[in-house]
Chain A
Amino acid sequence: MSVVSEGSDDRTFIEQLFALHHGEIYAYIYRMVRDADVAADFAQDTFIKAYKAQDSLEDRAKARAWLYQIAHRIVLDEMRRRRIVRFLPWTGESHGAAPSAEHLAMEMRLSGPLARALARIPERQRAALLLAEVNDLTGLELADALGISHVAARALLTRARESLRVALTDEKRQEQEREAAIDISFAERTRAADALRRTDDTTTGRPQ
């Protein structure tokens, strides 16, 4: 895949790489970190580091896997340093309070079960799965990008598939439970509103 001209100078080379690959590199990082701003920062870092280290790229035909390798390491290094969740707890979920179910419903809308299951499996497994499935890396590219042997990459991928299957099963089950909880909560509130309306006269008893 010698799409990048062999004789181009450093800066031109990196610009060509950017044009060809920035979309998929960004998409990979985004799926790993699930944060658009962080993903943009890391994608930028990836190309900057590639620019600084391009002497280390012996075969420009392998530039794609090499870029993924840089991105992968940035992501894993940063995940080690980043606090996964920074600060304050939310306050629902105490003794029958409804907000928890509502809150979870909201969170569910923001990400489907697959995305949440992906977020739950170990990072290296997630990386292998995303690179192979979503980003279409070949077996050899995958091994290069992960910096491990071909055999190890395949084993990692197999573990990842099983982890994701279990996590997804669990997520789907939880989703059903949450929906049921919301239904119950809604039903209870409707009943409460009905009761209020019955006891009240006409003006204030409006259900919300």
Chain B
Amino acid sequence: MSPEMSPLRAAELAHERAWTLAAEAIDVELGPQDTEWLDGHLNSCPDCRSIADEYREIHAELRSLARPEPPRDLWARTAAALDVIDAASGKRARGRTLGRQASRRPLFGTALAVGLVLVAAAVSVMSQSPIVNPGPASTAPGGIAVVAASASLASPTPLAPLAVVDGRSYWMSAGDGVYQIKGGVAQCTTGSGGCTVGSETGQTLGSISSDSTVLAVIAPDAKQAAVWTADKIAVMPLGAQSQTVVLDLLTPRPIVVATATPTATPTATPSATPTSTAAPTQSAAATPRPSAAESASAAPATPTPTIAPAAGGSVAILSGYQVVGRDPEFSADGTMVAFAARPVDHTTGPDVFVWRSGQEQARPVTFHHSALFAGWFGGQLLISEISSGRQAGGGATAAPSPSAVVSPTAAGAADAFGAASYLFDPATGICQAINRPMLLPAVDPTGRFLVYWAGTVQFDPVSGLWQPGSGELYLDAWSNLRLDPAFLGPDPGSTAGPSTTATTPTPAATASPSEAATLASSTAQASLSVTEAPSPLAVNQVATPLASSTQTPAPQSLPRLLPVASGPAAVSDWVVRWDRSGQFVAIWVANPSSDKIGRLTLFSIDSRSGLVNVNEPRFAAEKVLSSVSFDDSTLVYTSAVDGKTYMQSVPAVPPSNASTPVPTMPGQLPSGALPAAASAPATDRAGS
């Protein structure tokens, strides 16, 4: 049936023509010649006839789809919004600013030009939010830059830049299936105080053609980009002489059964070298277990040979997989890309993949189908896993020591729910578990602090994923944590440490995933609490420098709950960004009803004492898109209100002259050398 099987190219073309005509015949009446030819071909080609029949069946099935009914209050909501527009009459007034340039664009041009307007404005960091009045009239030196996206309907909602690197903005424009990654530096005119960078001035650095929606991130040096759709991830170079990457053709379409998903490369196993202090039992003999979906029916022993670097060095690093959770991210040196993905057919949960420059494919570094990519820390990965009693890196107990590696049956802890986070070094395969239950930790680049989430997770049967329900973000010091040897390798059962979750009060579970899976509802919940989580009262305490303290301050004042949400335990979707110095952390938290608009809060951390005044954030803004980033010491965020991107310089804060430096903890420290954080030794409860 597939064209490759036809012996002759002419026959292939005939079949292809037949399929095309059969599909077209659904929509239009074919001419007499085409009709005659098609009938003749179908009579001689049973396969083609069956395909033509399928087209008609699908046609009938599509037409019979039930129509979803809109909610009853749709008009009330819409009318209310229209009233607001009428009352404000803002749509006319807005044109008086530089926004007028944007609104004059043709509303329905064929290209979705994403015009960007840069405006310099002066808003002191500590004063009002620039969203309030970003007008160019307030220009002053040292202020912030404002990037305004086009208000044109061609881009009906504000588009945030992909990144701002060294003052140069990068963004993506899209139209008619072609996505262009562009870059540009603001052109400033001294008179108006405004700076613009728009589709006219932006340089096209790469373009991608695809029928699927394309998303992208760019490397820290902006020399390459990772682009992905719902079923494919590719890496492409960025440059002035870029060629168009036809993403749909970069590999064989994964939905064709004969093309195996590429994950089934046994070589993908991380070396999983245990740390010298403790070797997880059984791991030495672990054989790579291909994580291919059942659908990957083709022989997976060799990498799919059809994946080859395409024009301009673009390479599809994984296909047949869907990115889950955080966006893919380049390592700081730009040589690696990491992300979590699961098969498009959802036959397994997600694993974390790493692609290294020069490799043809991304390779999985986790094998339990329950891992999430949290972020990079130097050349190491932070990975979170959620599991039902199998992995117990989290919890108030110690992570599973080799002696705690117990029976793979794990029956005794089947109901326990665990969420663990790991530090994984893809170069060595060394994996270390963080001894505190947390999800998606974000570590500052200097390795002193981290922000992580803890709360209640819920099983969402529609997506088949656990979703954060309600929770909080905490700031903690690395030195409060302990790292224990762990293993994320493919060996089934050898990592089972069910006893540790079973014997500790946290994480507590009210429902096991397996139970949840059998419930056709989203009521399943499990809670994940932080050891010694500060009470909400801690919010009201103003941290004071510990003058001439001889103690390490961080473990005493941390962890601290960060009051970043609109209410208690209201963090279910968030983004944490550290600046390069580790002195500022910007936290975006989604509004309860939205997954795209939220609240941005910037905290500064005293670089010496590690103290943060959580009651007085350095900056806060409402209705901000999630694409928050730092460009050196400039905070970049996009307002959902006016569609403008604000670049706000963040002034360095002189460190308090008190106290001792917070110790860093980028790697493993010997167990016991640090506060044990109320740890209890792991208990072996094999077979219970």
Question: In residues 345-373 of chain B, which contact A (Cβ within 8 Å)?
Answer: 345-350, 368-372
Q: Contacts A125-B211, A162-B23 known; A103 to B82 CB distance under 8 Å?
A: no
Q: In the complex, A103→B462 CA distance in Å?
A: 10
Cβ contact within 8 Å between B372 and A90: no
The one of B176, B213, B348 in contact with A80, judged by C-beta atoms closer than 8 angstroms, is B213
Check B372–A88 contact: CB distance below 8 A: yes
- Are the C-beta atoms of B248 and A133 separated by less than 8 Å? no
* A71-82 to B contact mask, C-beta < 8 Å, 1/0: 001101111111
Residues of chain A contacted by B386 (CB below 8 angstroms): 88-89, 91
Chain A residues with CB under 8 Å of B28's CB are: 139, 154
Contact present for A27 and B68 (CB under 8 Å): yes
B63, B75, B175, B177: the one contacting A134 at CB < 8 Å is B63
Name the A residues within 8 Å of B387 (CB-CB): 91
A15 to B82, CA, bound (A): 10
A21-65 interface bits toward B, Cβ cutoff 8 Å, 1 = contact, 0 = none: 011101100110000110110011101110111001000000000
Write the A150-190 contact mask toward B (1 if CB under 8 angstroms, else 0). Answer: 00101011110111111111100110010000000000000
Q: Are A133 and B63 in contact (CB-based, < 8 A)?
A: yes
Number of A-B contacts (CB under 8 A): 292
Contact with A along B505-523 (1 / 0, CB 8 A): 0000000011001101000
Residue of A nearest to B61 (CB): A114
| B619 contacts partner chain A, Cβ-Cβ < 8 Å | no
- B: contact size bracket: 35 or more
Query: Please, which residue of chain A has its CB at the minimum distance from the CB of B459?
Result: A90
Bound-state Cα–Cα, A98 to B468, Å: 24
Q: Give the contacts of B181-216 with A (CB-CB under 8 A).
A: 210-215
Kindly list chain A residues whose C-beta atoms are within 8 Å of the C-beta of B160. Answer: 81
Q: How far is the CB of B45 from chain A (nearest CB, A)?
A: 16
Minimum CB–CB distance for A161 against chain B, Å: 4
Interface centre among B74, B75, B214, B596 (most CB of A within 10 A): B74
Name B325's contact: one of A24, A70, A85 (CB within 8 Å). Answer: A85
Question: Which residues does chain B contribute within 8 Å of A134, judged by CB atoms?
Answer: 62-63, 65, 67
* B213/A79 in contact, CB under 8 A: yes
B47 within 8 A of A: no
Binds A, one of B52-60, B117-125, B554-562, B649-657: B52-60
Once the chains bind, are A44 and B77 in contact (CB under 8 Å)?
A: yes
Residue on B with the closest CB to A181? B294
Chain B residue numbers with a CB within 8 Å of A69 are: 108
On chain A, which size bracket covers the interface?
35 or more
Instruction: Tell me which residues across on chain B come within 8 A of A200, comparing CB atoms.
Output: none
- With both chains docked as a complex, state the minimum distance between the C-beta of B494 and any C-beta of chain A, in angstroms: 11
In Å, the complex CA distance between A135 and B342 comes to 32
Q: Is B35 an interface residue (CB 8 A)?
A: no
What residue in chain A is nearest B293 (Cβ atoms)? A174
A82 engages B595 (CB within 8 Å): yes
Q: Shortest CB–CB separation between residue A164 and chain B, in angstroms?
A: 6
Which residues on B sit within 8 Å (CB–CB) of A97? 514
Q: A88-B372, A166-B256 are in contact. Are A106 and B461 (CB under 8 A)?
A: yes
B344 interface contact, C-beta 8 A: yes
CB neighbours (8 Å) of B110 from chain A are 147-148
- Does B457 sit at the interface, judged by CB under 8 A? yes
Known: A56-B107, A88-B372, A88-B465. A43 touches B70 (CB 8 A): yes
Q: By the criterion CB–CB under 8 Å, are A123 and B493 in contact?
A: no
Q: Could you tell me which residues of chain B, from 221 to 270, have a CB within 8 Å of some CB in chain A?
A: 229-231, 248, 253, 255-257
CB closest residue in chain B, given A158: B23
CA distance A17 to B26 in the complex (A): 30
The verdict on B91 contacting chain A, using a C-beta distance below 8 Å, is yes
Interface segment among B148-156, B300-308, B532-540: the answer is: B148-156
Contact in complex: A52, B468 (CB < 8 Å): no
CB pair B322–A85 under 8 Å, yes or no, is yes
The 8 A CB mask of A88-118 against B (1 = contact, 0 = none) is 1111111101111011101101100010000
Contact of B85 among A51, A120, A170 (CB under 8 A): A51
Q: List chain A residues, Cβ under 8 A from B464.
A: 90, 103-104, 107
Tell me the complex Cα distance, A208–B293, Å: 31
Are the C-beta atoms of A74 and B85 separated by less than 8 Å?
A: no
User: Would you call A48 and B78 a contact (CB within 8 A)?
Assistant: yes
CA distance A90 to B370 in the complex (A): 6
A197 within 8 Å of B (CB atoms): no
Verify A95–B69 contact, CB threshold 8 A.
no
Contacts of A169 in B (CB 8 A): 54
Q: Among A26, A85, A174, which residue has its beta carbon within 8 angstroms of that of B324? A: A85
Known interface pairs A40-B71, A44-B78, A94-B492; A52-B91 also in contact (CB < 8 Å): yes
Pairwise interchain contact A104-B347, C-beta atoms closer than 8 A:
yes
A15 and B153 alpha carbons, distance in the complex (Å): 20
Q: Point out the residue from A30, A107, A123, A133 that lies within 8 Å of B213, measured CB to CB.
A: A123
Nearest B residue to A160 via CB reads B211
Name B107-131 residues within 8 Å CB distance of A: 107-108, 110, 112
Distance in angstroms between the alpha carbons of A174 and B343 in the assembled complex: 13
Partner of A27, one of B67, B78, B112, B514: B67
B19 touches A86 (CB 8 A): no
Task: Tell me, yes or no, whether B388 is within 8 Å of chain A by CB.
Answer: yes
A-side contacts of B79, CB under 8 Å:
15
Q: Is the CB of A40 within 8 A of B70?
A: yes
| Bound CA span A110–B156, Å | 32
A16 to chain B minimum Cβ distance, whole angstroms, is 12
Q: How long is the Cα–Cα vector from A164 to B256 in the complex, in angstroms?
A: 11
Judge whether A95 and B85 touch: CB under 8 Å: no
Which of B69, B157, B211, B520 has a CB less than 8 Å from the CB of A77? B157
- CB neighbours of A124 from chain B (8 A): 177, 211-213
Quick one: which of B72-88 are within 8 Å of A by CB? 74-75, 77-79, 81-82, 85-86
Q: B82–A48 contact, CB under 8 A?
A: yes
Residues of B within 8 A of A152 (CB): 176
Contact pick for B465, options A36, A90, A170, CB 8 Å: A90
Cross-chain contact of B65 among A18, A26, A114, A170 (Cβ < 8 A) = A114
* Residue of A whose beta carbon sits closest to that of B390: A94
Flag if A87 contacts B211 (CB, 8 Å): no
Which residue of the partner chain A has the closest CB to B112? A73
CB pair A40–B517 under 8 Å, yes or no, is: no
- Find out whether the CB atom of B513 lies under 8 angstroms from the CB atom of A122: no
B349 pairs with A89, CB closer than 8 A:
yes
Task: Select B107's contact among A22, A53, A121, beta carbons within 8 Å.
Answer: A53
Which residues of B, 367-396, contact A by the 8 Å Cβ criterion?
A: 368-372, 385-388, 390
Bound state CA distance, A135 and B665, in angstroms? 58
A102 to B595 Cα, complex, angstroms: 28
Tell me, yes or no, whether B27 is within 8 Å of chain A by CB: yes
Interface check B625, CB cutoff 8 A: yes
Q: Quick check: is A11 within 8 A (CB to CB) of the other chain?
A: yes
Shortest A136–chain B CB gap in Å is 9
Asked if A88 and B212 sit within 8 Å, CB to CB, the answer is no
Query: Which residues of the other chain, B, contact A86 by a CB distance below 8 angstroms?
Result: 325, 463, 465, 467, 573, 595
Give the docked Cα–Cα distance between A88 and B453 (Å): 12
Cross-chain pairs A/B with CB under 8 angstroms, 17 sampled? A31-B68, A37-B593, A56-B153, A70-B156, A74-B157, A77-B159, A78-B157, A88-B467, A89-B372, A91-B386, A92-B514, A99-B517, A106-B518, A124-B213, A148-B176, A166-B255, A173-B257
User: Given A86-B463, A89-B372, A97-B514, 13 other A-B contacts at CB below 8 A?
Assistant: A24-B67, A40-B77, A48-B81, A73-B112, A73-B155, A77-B155, A81-B157, A85-B322, A89-B350, A90-B370, A132-B27, A133-B62, A174-B345
Residues on A close to B: CB < 8 A?
11, 14-15, 18, 22-24, 26-27, 30-31, 36-37, 39-40, 43-45, 47-49, 51-53, 56, 69-70, 73-74, 76-95, 97-100, 102-104, 106-107, 109-110, 114, 120-125, 129-130, 132-134, 139, 147-148, 152, 154, 156-159, 161-170, 173-174, 177
Q: Which 9 A-B pairs have the closest CB atoms?
A: A88-B466, A122-B211, A122-B212, A56-B107, A26-B70, A89-B349, A103-B517, A133-B62, A161-B23
